[in-house]
Structure 1
Amino acid sequence: MAPWHSRLQLQFSSEADRTVLRHRHEGGLRALASHYPEAPGICHQVLVHPPGGLVGGDILDIDLTVQAGAHALVTTPGAGRFYRSTGAPARQTLEARLAPGARLEWLPLETLAYDQCLGENRSRFHLEPGAELIAWDLLALGLPAADAAFRAGRFTQHVELPGIWLERGSIAGDDEVLLHASGGLRGHTALATLLFAAGSPLAAQRRDALLDTARQAADAAAVDEVLWGATAPHAQIIVLRALGQRIEPVAALCRAVWAAWRQAAWSIEACAPRVWAT
């Protein structure tokens, strides 16, 4: 079977105090109708990939622009899946550009890396001065509850803000040291990175307040099986990382911090996308 290559271009713009989406697609990846459960200026957008997952050689390319003054929240209706590959790797890429004064919440549901998959999930965010971003990357390795652990294959995560921050990790299913040693994942199969980033250096007082907000929200939401830590490795970014045995409590912790950051940074109450409840 020939691999699928899908492309999706998304452009959010502010028109008469309303964030409006214009988009083009090639292949199966689509944007559903925009929703405005909060206010006309905040566009909730759901992306769907009808095949439900990627196999060897499949490519999903997303090109996303948020213009000045626009605010977009982008999510998915279900987990992304990288299935077993017998040869070529599968890849999903996001290239996002935020203009001055733009806001983006990039909140797709978790990625599932199946045993023997060869996959890469790459996200790159370009922020102009005055732009701000909340984004996460949620990953579950294998299907432990179904006795289908991630024992072979490789999955690579790449999250980048050029010139500011880069996180890249490659996890091999047969890397016993990385997967099980105390200096690695310690047997955890769910991991997450959540970040708040700005196109300009954050004032020290605001950066410290957002870092404290993340720690307080994570501490209140955390359960014993989730390990987490929050840091500010650069003047323009705050990062929270979490490890767990299951993706559900890890995702719940990230949602709690997202909600707290929304209020603390933008004075906006959390409004979970409707698709998260289906």
Structure 2
Amino acid sequence: MTPWHSRLQLRFSAEPARTVLRHQHEGGLRALASHYPEDPQICHQVLVHPPGGLVGGDILDIDLSVQEGAHALVTTPGAGRFYRSTGAPARQTLEARLAPGARLEWLPLETLAYNDCLGENRSRFHLAPGAELMAWDLLALGLPAADAAFRSGRFTQHIELPGIWLERGCIAGDDDALLHGPGGLRGHTALATLFFAAGSPLASPRREALLDVARQAADDAQQASVLFGATAPHAQIVALRVLGHRIEPVAALCRAVWAAWRQTGWGVEDCAPRVWST
């Protein structure tokens, strides 16, 4: 089977009436029509990949920029899937650049790592001074409800804000210590990182307020089946970590904290993309 290589270039700019997207694509990855359900200056954008998943050798490359004063919310209509591979790894990469005063909400739905997959998910965000970002990475290992656990294969996650923050982890299906040990995932098969990041240091009162509302929103979500913690690993970042046995409660908790951060961090009301309800 011939691998597929898809490229998508997204450019969000602030024009007098609204934030506007201009884009180019090569391959199957596409951008649907922009929507403005809350404010003309906040562009809701849905990305679709009609093949529905990646197999060995497939590559998705996304190059995204948000210009000064623009605000973009980017999501997907369904889960991303990394299927079984017998050779080369499948890879998705995001390279995002935010100009001064730009805002980006990078909120794709969960990634499913199937048993025997060889997958890589890389995200790199370049934030100019004054730019701000909310983003998450939601991952489900295997399909435990279908008795298809993640027992072999490998999945690599890479999140980077150059010069500020780097997280890179490799999860192997046969790494029992990581998957089941007390210092690892402890048998949980769903995990997430949600973070609020800025191109300039966050003032201490603002950083503490983001931590407080994250913890309160997580408590209020009443997701008893998940573990979570909110920290500030750097003066420019506040992060929420979540572990669960199913992706649905993990994602629900992240959405609750995202909505709270929107209000506290930006004074913007919760407005969930409508594709999340379809």
Give the TM-score normalised by the residue count of structure 1: 0.99
Instruction: Give the deviation of 1:213 after TM superposition.
Output: 1.0
The corresponding residue for 2:147 is 147
Instruction: Give the deviation of 1:222 after TM superposition.
Output: 3.8
Aligned amino acid, residue 117 of structure 2: C
- Structure 2 distance, partners of 1:100, 1:224, is 40
Structure 1 residues not aligned, in runs of 5+:
none
Instruction: Give the deviation of 1:219 after TM superposition.
Output: 1.3
The corresponding residue for 2:85 is 85
1:81-160 aligned within 5 A = 81-160=81-160
Instruction: Give the deviation of 1:252 after TM superposition.
Output: 0.2
Superimposed CA distance per residue, residues 64-112 of structure 1 (whole angstroms, 9 cap, x where no aligned partner): 0000000000000000000000010000000000000000000000000
Aligned amino acid, residue 88 of structure 1: A
1:1-278 aligned within 5 A = 1-278=1-278
Instruction: Give the deviation of 1:17 after TM superposition.
Output: 3.8
Superimposed CA distance per residue, residues 18-70 of structure 1 (whole angstroms, 9 cap, x where no aligned partner): 10000000000000000000010000000000000000000000000000000
Superimposed CA distance per residue, residues 184-210 of structure 1 (whole angstroms, 9 cap, x where no aligned partner): 000000000000000000011111111
Instruction: Give the deviation of 1:245 after TM superposition.
Output: 0.2
How many residues align structurally? 278
- Structure 2 distance, partners of 1:245, 1:222, is 15
Which 4+ residue blocks in structure 1 deviate beyond 4 angstroms?
none
Give the TM-score normalised by the residue count of structure 2: 0.99
- Structure 2 distance, partners of 1:5, 1:151, is 27
Contact between 1:158 and 1:169, CA under 8 Å: does it hold in 2?
yes
- Structure 1 distance, partners of 2:220, 2:165, is 28
Aligned amino acid, residue 87 of structure 2: G
Aligned amino acid, residue 248 of structure 2: E
- Structure 2 distance, partners of 1:34, 1:117, is 33
Structure 2 residues not aligned, in runs of 5+:
none
Instruction: Determine what percentage of the aligned residue pairs are the same residue.
Output: 85
Contact between 1:155 and 1:171, CA under 8 Å: does it hold in 2?
yes
Instruction: Give the deviation of 1:138 after TM superposition.
Output: 0.0
Contact between 1:213 and 1:261, CA under 8 Å: does it hold in 2?
yes
Q: RMSD in angstroms over aligned alpha carbons?
A: 0.5
Aligned amino acid, residue 165 of structure 2: W
